[in-house]
A and B are shown apart, each in its own frame.
Chain A
Amino acid sequence: MRKSHEAREKLLRLGIFRQVDVLIDTCQGDNALPNGLDVTFEVTELRRLTGSYNTMVGNNEGSMVLGLKLPNLLGRAEKVTFQFSYGTKETSYGLSFFKPQPGNFERNFSVNLYKVTGQFPWSSLRETDRGISAEYSFPVWKTSHTVKWEGVWRELGCLARTVSFAVRKESGHSLKSSLSHAMVIDSRNPSILPRRGALLKVNQELAGYTGGDVSFIKEDFELQLNKQLILDSVFSASLWGGMLVPIGDKLSSIADRFYLGGPTSVRGFNMHSVGPQSEGDYLGGEAYWAGGLHLYTPLPFRPGQGGFGELFRTHFFLNAGNLCNLNYGEGPRAHIRKLAECIRWSYGAGIVLRLGNIARLELNYCVPMGVQGGDRICDGVQFGAGIRFL
C-alpha cells in the first residue's frame, strides 16, 4: 500500500498527469498467482497545450501576463513554458525547457531564455537583463546540487534626472558569463512557517572565465533553524551572509553587489536602503551579513482555529545585519572588524499570513536601532510580501 502511494506521488510530481488513481485488486486471469495482487494505475493526462492569461496591478504599473505551457513535449515529461508580460512601463518574457531524467526526477536539466526589466527606485536605477542559462540538478545523499552556466547582457540606466553621479557612472552595457554551483539541504516541514527542521543553502558563482567583461567570485549562504516549543509556538533562527570579490582591476558593478534592508530582510529599514550611498542612491556592498531570531505563536485567543485561523501567526522578531564595501588591501581581520562595527538592528512584533505553500505576507510594528547616517528607516508599521524572509 505504501509503495503504491509513493509511486502515485512520484507520478503526480512529474507534472504531466491531471489525476492518478490506484486500484488494488486480487489477481484475476490466466497468469494469476494464488496470493497475488493487481495494482492498476489509472491516469488522466493534462492537455497537450495549456494557456493562461492574468492581469497584474502593482506599484504604479499595470501589466498583462500571458502564459503557455506544454507539459509533456516529447513523451518523457519534458516541459516547455513561455511567459510574456506586457506592462505600461516594462515588457518581460521568458522561455524555459525542462527535462527530468526518466525514472529519476531529482536529476533534471533545464535551459532558460529570458528578458527581464526591473526598476530599483532606491538606487535610481533601471536594469534590463537579456540572458540565457543552462542548469543541471542532481541529488547527492540528502542534498540537492545545481550547476549552472548563465550568460546575461545587462543594460543599466538611470531612472531620474536627479540621479547621483556615482550611479550615472555605472550606466551602459555589460556582459556577464558565469558558472555557479548551489547546494541545498532542506529538512523543514513544511517550508512556509515551518514547525521544525533546518535549511542550508550555499551558492558560489564565478564570473569572467567563460567570456564576458565582468569578473568576480561571489559566495553567499542562507541558514535557518526551527524548533517547536510548548503551546504550538515555534522558535526560528536565521543567518544570511555573502561576499563578492572582484577579480582583476575593474571595480564591482552595482548590479552584482548585495543589498540590505526592507520588510524581507532587516525589518524596520526601507527596502535596500542600508549601507553605502551617494546623494540618496544606495550603491550596495560587497560583503554583508544578516541574522534574525523569531518566535511564532498562534493568534491570541485562537480565532478560526482549525480553519482560516491556521494561516495566521503572531510573530516577535529581532533582526540585525551589516553591509559594507571591502578594501582588499587590508586583509581579512580588518574586514571582520568592519562588518562588526555599526551593526544595524531592530525588534518588533506583527502578524504573518501564509499564502499557499510559497509566499507569505507580514504586517509588523518595527523599532529600528543602530541606524547609521544615510540609512532610511521605516519605524512603525511595515508591510511585506515575498517568498524569502530573514
Chain B
Amino acid sequence: MSLVAEAFVSQIAVSQQTAFFVVRKGDFTRIEEDSSLFKAAEPWPENATLYQQLKGEQILLSDNAASLAVQAFLQMCNLPVKVVCRANAEYMSPSGKVPFIHVGNQVVSELGPIVQFVKAKGHSLSDGLDEVQKAEMKAYMELVNNMLLTAELYLQWCDEATVGEITHARYGSPYPWPLNHILAYQKQWEVKRKMKAIGWGNKTLDQVLEDVDQCCQALSQRLGTQPYFFNKQPTELDALVFGHLYTILTTQLTNDELSEKVKNYSNLLAFCRRIEQHYFGKVSSSIKLS
C-alpha cells in the first residue's frame, strides 16, 4: 500500500486514542504547573548533571565557552554539578543550545534561564547589587553575547580556513559517513544564515577581530584594578566573561589572532587566572583544552 495511504489509515487509528491520551496528559501538565512553586523551593540535589558535547573530539569553541561559563557560575554559587559528555547533547537540549542542566525533574538550558532557575531555588550572586548596577551587569552580559559569542561563531563557521581544518571535522566526528558531512554542512548553512540576518554576513575577519578588540577594551576598562566586575564578589557577569576569555586563550585554532587580542589586556589575563585558581584549582587538568 502506498506510503500516504498507510499513514492515513494509521492516523485514523491514532485519533481515537489521542483524544483519550490528551485529556490525561493535560491533567498531568496542570498538576505540574501548580506544584512548580513547590519544586522551586526544593533543595539542590546531589545528582545535578550538566550535559555538553564530547570534550576531546567534538566540542567547539563557542559551546565550550558557554559550558565553562555555566560551570563557573555554579561553582561560584557553591552548587555541586557533575559534567557528563554526550555526542547528542545539542539535540537533547530543549532549546537546541548547550549546555543544559538536569536537576531533579527539570531540564534548563543556557546561562540566562539557569541563573533564573537557580535564583528561584534561593541562590543568587547579584542580590547585593542595586538597580543601576543590575542594569549595567545586564548591559555588559548583552555585550559579551552580541560581540564575543558572535565573533566566536563567525570564526568557527564563516572563516574558510578554520572551517576546513578544525570545525567541520570536529562537528561531524561522532557520526559515520556520510552523516558527518551532511550535519556539518547543515549547521554551517544555518550559522551563515543567522550571520546574514544580524548583519555580519559581509564582515571580514579583520573587522570581526577589531570588534573583539573593542569588546575586550570595554571589559578591561570596566574591570580596572578590581578583583571582579562588581568589586569584591563575583556575579554571573564574571562567570560569563571568564567562560569566553579563558576558552579563547586556551583553544588552539589555525591562527592565534583571537587570543592575541585578549592577551593585550593584562588585567583580563589576571582576572582569568584568578578565577581559575580560586574556583577550578581543585578540578585542575580538566580545564586544559586541545
Considering residues B1, B28, B179, B182, which has the most beta carbons from chain A within 10 angstroms of its beta carbon? Answer: B179
Contact across chains for A171 and B4 when beta carbons are under 8 A apart:
no
Contact across chains for A59 and B91 when beta carbons are under 8 A apart:
no
Bound complex: CA A160 to CA B18 (Å): 14
Contact across chains for A172 and B91 when beta carbons are under 8 A apart:
yes
Contact across chains for A173 and B179 when beta carbons are under 8 A apart:
yes
Q: Kindly list chain A residues whose C-beta atoms are within 8 Å of the C-beta of B12.
A: 58-59, 385
Total interface residues in chain B, CB < 8 Å:
40
Total interface residues in chain A, CB < 8 Å:
53
Bound complex: CA A378 to CA B17 (Å): 8
From DSSP, what is the main secondary structure of chain B's interface residues? helix
Bound complex: CA A264 to CA B6 (Å): 13
Bound complex: CA A168 to CA B94 (Å): 9
Q: Kindly list chain B residues whose C-beta atoms are within 8 Å of the C-beta of A270.
A: 17, 20-21
Contact across chains for A387 and B4 when beta carbons are under 8 A apart:
no
Bound complex: CA A383 to CA B29 (Å): 27
A114 at the B interface (CB under 8 A): yes
Contact across chains for A153 and B13 when beta carbons are under 8 A apart:
no
Contact across chains for A383 and B16 when beta carbons are under 8 A apart:
yes
Bound complex: CA A223 to CA B176 (Å): 37
Contact across chains for B15 and A58 when beta carbons are under 8 A apart:
yes
Near B by CB (< 8 A), chain A positions 159-194 give 160-162, 165, 168-169, 171-175
Contact across chains for A121 and B21 when beta carbons are under 8 A apart:
yes
Near B by CB (< 8 A), chain A positions 110-139 give 114, 116, 118, 121-122
The one of B11, B91, B177 in contact with A211, judged by C-beta atoms closer than 8 angstroms, is: B177
B218 at the A interface (CB under 8 A): no
Shortest beta-carbon distance, B22 to chain A, in Å? 8
Residue of A whose beta carbon sits closest to that of B90: A172
**Binary interface encoding of chain B residues 1-44 relative to chain A, with 1 for a CB under 8 A from any of its CBs, else 0:** 11110111111111111101110110011001000000000000
B143 at the A interface (CB under 8 A): no
B107 at the A interface (CB under 8 A): yes
A242 at the B interface (CB under 8 A): no
A382 at the B interface (CB under 8 A): yes
Q: Kindly list chain B residues whose C-beta atoms are within 8 Å of the C-beta of A241.
A: none
Q: Kindly list chain B residues whose C-beta atoms are within 8 Å of the C-beta of A168.
A: 92, 107
B interface residues (Cβ-Cβ under 8 A, vs A) = 1-4, 6-18, 20-22, 24-25, 28-29, 32, 86-88, 90-92, 94, 102, 107, 175-177, 179, 182-183
Q: List 19 A-B contacts (CB under 8 A).
A: A56-B11, A58-B8, A61-B11, A83-B3, A116-B7, A121-B21, A121-B22, A169-B88, A172-B90, A173-B179, A211-B176, A213-B175, A262-B13, A262-B17, A359-B1, A378-B20, A383-B13, A384-B16, A385-B9
